[in-house]
Structure 1
C-alpha cells in the first residue's frame, strides 16, 4: 500500500493548469506514435489506384501462320483499364519519359512494337519470347518500385495466360485440320479397299478363264496333231496314187473324195476351235486392259504388266493359228471340190492326178504348222495361267494392305475428337491457366496495417517508456532517504508510469480498433497483453534511468533501435543477420510482438502463455534490479551530487 500511496503522491505533483496536462500527454504518446503510423500504412496496397502510372503501347497488329489475328497490345491495354490496379495514363513515349523524370508518374510500362509479332510465333518451330519493359525512378519513391513487383507478376500472368490460350487455339485448329485431312484419307482408303476388292474378284475371274482356255487349247493342240498325222498319211497315199493312178483311179478318186471330205470336216473343226481360242484370248486382253482403265494404280504393277504381255502374246499366237487353220480349211475345201470334179470327170482327173500331190503337200504342211501353233498356244496359255494366278495373289495382297491402311487411318481419326468453337474456347481458357493455386492462411491478418499492428504497438509502448521518465521522477526522494524498503521504493517509482502506460495502451487499442478496424481475434487477451507489455517496457526504462541516470535514456534508445530489427516484427528472423538472431530471445519486444500476433490474427495459445510469462518475468526481474540500485543509491557520493550528465 505504501508503494501505491507513493505513486499517487508522484501523480499529485502535476497540479496547476499546465501540469495537469502532463499525464494526459503521456497517455497520448502511444496513440500519437502507434496510431499515426498504422493510419498511414494501414492498407497501402489497397490504394494503389491513386498512383499515376504511364503506359506506352507501340504494338502493331500481327497475324499467325494460320491467319489468326494477334493484337496482344490492345488486349493488354484493355485488361489494364479493367483491372484498375493503378491510375493508368496511356500516353506517348516522350510524355511517359518526361513524367517519370519529373515525378508525375511513379513508373512506366512500355509495350514494344513487336509484342504481338513475337506472340504470334507461339505455334512455330522456333517461337520468340515477347517482352514488356517497366521503367522505375527510385529518386521519386523506392517503395513504389517494390509495389511494381506485384504489377509485374500480374502482367506476366495475364500475358502468359493470353499466350497459352492463343497457343491452345492454334493447336486445336491444327488438330481440326489434321482431322479433316484424316477424314479425306479415310474416305480414300475405303474407296481403295473397294477398288482392290473389285480387282481381287476380276483377277479371280481372269485366272479361272485362262485355266479354262488353257484346257481348251490343250484339246485343240491334240486335234491339230492328229490332223497333222492324218495329212501326212494322205500325202503318202497321194504318192502311191501317182503310181497306181491309171489302174486304180476311179476307186482312188472315190476314196479321194471321201478322204477329202473327211479332211475338210476335220479342218473345219480345227478352224472353229482356233477361232474360239482367238476370241477368248482377245477377250482376256480386253478384260485386262479394262481392269487397268478402272484401276490405274495397277498399270505400274509388275505382275499385272507381265500378265498383260503374256495375254497379248497368246492372242497374237491364237490369231496366227486361226489364220493358218482357215487357210488349211480353204485348201481342203478346194481339194474336195477338185476331187468331186475329178470323180465327175475321171478321164480328166487322170491327167490331173499328178498335180494333186502338190495341194496335198500344202495341206500336210499347213496341218503341221497348225499343230505347232496349237502347241505354242498351249504353252502361252500356261504362262498366262501362271501370270493370272500371280496377279490374283497380288490383288489379294493389295486388298489386305488397303484394308490395313484403312483401319490405321480410322484408328487415328477416332483418336482426334471433334471440337466445336465452344469446346476450343473452354480448352483455351483452362489450358491458358492450367494450374489454379488456392492460397490459404491458417490465421490471416488481412490488410497490411493489421499485420504490422503488433510491431507498431510495441514501438509505441517503448517510446512511451522513453518519454515517461523525462517528465516523471524515477524515484521518490523522500522514500529514498527515508525508511521505506528498497523494493517498495522501486515499485513506487515504476507504478505511476506503468499506470499511465496501461491507459495509453488502452487508448491506442480503442482508437485503432474503432477507427481503423483492427478487430482482433482475442480482444480481451490483447488488452491484457498490452497492459503487461507496457508494464514490462516501463520497468526496463525505469531500471535504466535508475541505474544509469540520464545516460539510461540513451541506452533505452539503443535498445529500441536493436529491437526494431531483432524482434522479428518486420522481416522473418532467418533473413536477419546472425547477430540479431542471437539477440531476439533476449529482448522483451520479441515476446510482445509475438503475443500480439496471436491475439490479432490467432495462433497457438501456448505461445501466448509463454509471452505473458516472459513479460511478467522481465517486469519482476527488472524491479528487483531497480530495488538493488535503490539500496545502493541510499549512499550519497560526489558523483550523485554532481552528475556528469543531467537534464
Structure 2
C-alpha cells in the first residue's frame, strides 16, 4: 500500500460521521483562533490605557516667579494629564488615600505633585536655593508587573515635557536677565549724566521757586487781612439783620389790627362827610333866605317910596334918599354883619363838606390797602429772618474762610521754607548725580559671578528641572519574576489539559457499575487532583529553589497554586465529562481566551470589551492576581475573596462532572462505537 493510499484511508476514517468532520474543522481553526485572537487582544493595547485607574494627588501650593507672575505648575500639569485621557485619572485629596488605593488595587498606580513643585521649578531664579521639582510615582507590582514599565514611560514623557519647557524658559530668562542688566547699566550711566544736567537746571528753578513762594507768602498774609475785614462786615450784617428781623416782627404784631381800625375810620369819615353835606345844604338855604329877605325889604321900601312920591308926600329926590338911607342902614347894621358872617360860614361849611368827602374817600382807600400792607409787613418780617439766618451763615463761612486763609498763609510760609530747602537740596543732588554716574560705572563690574558649585547646581536644575521620586510598595526582582504569576497559572491549566490526552475522565467499567453518579464522578476526578497537586508542588520547588523566585509568602503561594490546580482540574474534568470529546475543544478555547484576558502581561483593563468581560468570568485572571499578591507581598485582604471564588469554580466543575457522569451512565450506540475515541 502506497503512502498516498495510507493517508487517504486515514483521512476517510477520520471524516466518517458528522462529529469527526466538525473535529477536523475545529482543529483546523485552532491556529486561527490562537493567532488572530491573541493578535487582536494585543494589537494596540496602549490605546486603551485610559481604562487603567490611576490616582492623581496635587499638593502644589504654587509660587511667585522672578518676573512677578504666579506659577501654578502643579494644577497645570494635573489638568494636562486629565485632559489628555492617557489614564483613567482620579484626583484624590491626599497621598495617604492614594497609597491605600494602590495597595488595595483600587488604583493601579498614583502620581503625586508635591507642595513645593512650583517653588522648585521657579528656584533657578536664586543661585542659593535652586532645587529640582519632584514627581512622586507609587506603583505596586501586585497590581500588574508590566504596568510599572508603562508608567515609567509615561512619567518619563511628562518629565521630559516639563523639563524642556521649564528649562528653556529658565535659561531664556537667565540669559535675557544678564543682557538686560548690561543694557540697563549702560542706560543708567547715560541717564546719570542727563540727571546731572537736569539738576543744574533744577538749581536755577529752585531759586526761582524760592522767590515765588516768598511772594505767595506775602500775598497770603494780605489775603488774611482782607478776609478779616470781610469777616467783621459779615458779623455786623448778621447783627443788623437780626435787629431788623426783630423790629419787623414787632411791627407785624402791632399792624395786625390796622385793617379793622382803618375800616372803622373809613366808616366814620363817610358819616362825617354825609353830616357836613347836610349842614352845608341847610346853611346855603339860610344864606339864600337872608339875601331874599334883604332884597325884599329894599324892594318894599322902594315901592313905598314910589307910592309916597305918587301921593305927593315925598318928592322923587326924597324918595331916592330914603331908599339910599335904608340901603345904607342895611349895610351898616348888625344884620348886615350877620349876613356877611353867614356867607363866610356858608363858604367854610362848603369847604368842610368838600374836605370831609375827600377824607372819607382817602380813609376808604386806606382801609382797602391796609391788608396788602400788613401782608407785606409779614413778608418783610420773614425775609428779614431769612436774611438774618443767611447773614449768620455768611459770618460762619467767612470765619471758616478766614481760618482756611490763615492755613494758606501758614502753608505758603512752609512752602517758602521748603523751596529754600529744595534749592539747597538741588545743589546737593547735583553733586550726588555725578557720584551716581561714577557708582554705576563701578557697579557694572559687580554683576553676579556664581561660583563653580553654584554654576553646577543651577545648570543641573536648568538642564533637568524635574526629577522623579518613585516609590514601589511591592516590586518584582526580575522580568521573569514579574511574569511568574501569569506563567505559573497558565502552566497549571495547560498541564491539567494535557492530562486529558492520557487519562480518561471516567472509565467504562465505572460507568457500568451500580455506584451513585457522584461517587463515579469524584472517583474519576481524584486522579486528576493528585497529579495536579504533584504538578503544583514540583513547579513551586523548581521556581523557588532553582530559579530563585523567593516569594514573599512561599507556603501560602504553594497552597494557593494547589487550590488553583484543584479548581482548574474540576472545571476541565467537568466540561469534558459533560460535553464529551468536544469538551477538549471547549477547554482549548477557554485557554486562548484566558491567555488574552487574564491580565498576565498587559493590564486587563487595556484589552477590548469582550476580553474584559471574559476576565470577570474565567478563573485564570483571579489566580494570576492572587499569585501576584502572594509572590510580591501585596495586600492579602484581596486574596480571601479569590479563594472563595476558586472554591466556587471547583463546585461548578464538580456539578458539571456529576451531570455528565449521570448522562454517560445511559449507554447508547455511540457509547459502544464512538465517532472519536476519548
What is the TM-score when the length of structure 1 is the normalising length?
A: 0.42
If the length of structure 2 is used for normalisation, what is the TM-score?
A: 0.40
Between 1 and 2, higher relative CO (CA 8 Å, sep ≥ 6) is seen in: 2
